Amino acid sequence: MAPGAPSSSSSPILAVLLFSSLVLSPTQAIVVYTDREVHGAVGSRVTLHCSFWSSEWVSDDISFTWRYQPEGGRDAISIFHYAKGQPYIDEVGAFKERIQWVGDPRWKDGSIVIHNLDYSDNGTFTCDVKNPPDIVGKTSQVTLYVFEKVPIRYGVILGSVIGGVFGVVLLLLLLFYLVRYCWLRRQATLQRRLSAMEKGKLHKSSKDSSKRGRQTPVLYAMLDHSRSTKAASEKKSKGLGESRKDKK
């Protein structure tokens, strides 16, 4: 091999890398979500929700397809299709003029509404989503049950009971903290009053002691004055007595 010529051993490596990147690279399948079942009353309407997750951005070529399999039937028929930004509704089947498109591909929503329900609408509805290049994935199914009057489901009753119990507990906790707050506030008020009374007593006692302290020197001065006056009077009377004796 001449110097400077490319190595022939690098060609198989490049081929393997190119093959692995194109063929063996892992791809994530699109995932579609619907309710497991929905209930509706005769003559009412019901919304069949459909959403999806995709590893790709929402494509302009995104499509939604709804299929319907009657209760007890084997074959599923297409009743709705959305493509190129336009909804296409079945105009000859059992759902003629009863389907309404309420989805929004920008929000990954492919929901539809079925109006004027009838017992014959019981069955399974399948939502299929394609978001090129993400087109591989499983569909999702929702079962529709139509009743004369929609029954209250066990989950709704259980949810109501749990919600009621939670509400009662929350109310009791609120009352407890309210009573505790009022009690603590009352205690703080009483403590402030007692402190004010104690301060008043101390101030009064200090006033009395200072008053007594000021009165004590006055008393002593009065006593000294009375003593000196008494001594002077005694001395005076004594001098007068002696002078009388001398005169005699």
- Asked if residue 52 and residue 138 are part of one domain, the reply reads yes
pLDDT at 84: 92
**Same-domain pairing of 130 and 158:** no
In a domain, residue 59? The reply is yes
Residue 237 placed within a domain: no
User: For residue 163, what pLDDT is reported?
Assistant: 85
d(CA 56, CA 115): 33
In angstroms, the CA 116 to CA 174 distance is: 47
Q: Which pLDDT does position 158 carry in this prediction? A: 58
96 and 143 in a single domain? The answer is yes
Residue 172, token pair as written in the block: 């009791």
Residues 175 and 189 occupy one common structural domain: yes
Same domain, 132 and 201: no
Say if residue 193 is in the same domain as residue 173. yes
Task: Give per-10-residue mean pLDDT for the chain (248 aa).
Answer: 45 46 54 95 96 93 95 90 92 86 95 95 96 91 91 63 86 90 89 82 67 57 67 66 57
The CATH number of the domain holding residue 35 is: 2.60.40.10
Query: What pLDDT is stored for residue 97 in this prediction?
Result: 87
Instruction: Decide if 240 is inside a domain.
Output: no
Tokens of 221: 């001065």
Clarify whether residues 97 and 174 are in a common domain: no
**Is residue 24 a part of any domain in this protein?**
no
Predicted local confidence at residue 248, as pLDDT: 52
Q: What is the pLDDT of residue 20?
A: 42
Judgement on whether residues 89 and 198 belong to the same structural domain of the protein = no
Q: Print the domain residue range for 195.
A: 153-205
Q: Are 140 and 34 members of one domain?
A: yes
Residues 157 and 142 in one domain: no
At 101, is the secondary structure helix, strand, or coil? strand
For the record, the structure tokens of 149 come out as 């009057």
Examine the domain organization and report whether 157 and 133 are in the same domain: no
CA–CA separation, 64 and 30 (whole Å) = 12
Note whether 48 and 122 are same-domain residues: yes
Domain tally, the chain: 2
What is the predicted pLDDT for the residue at 30?
92
pLDDT of residue 244: 58
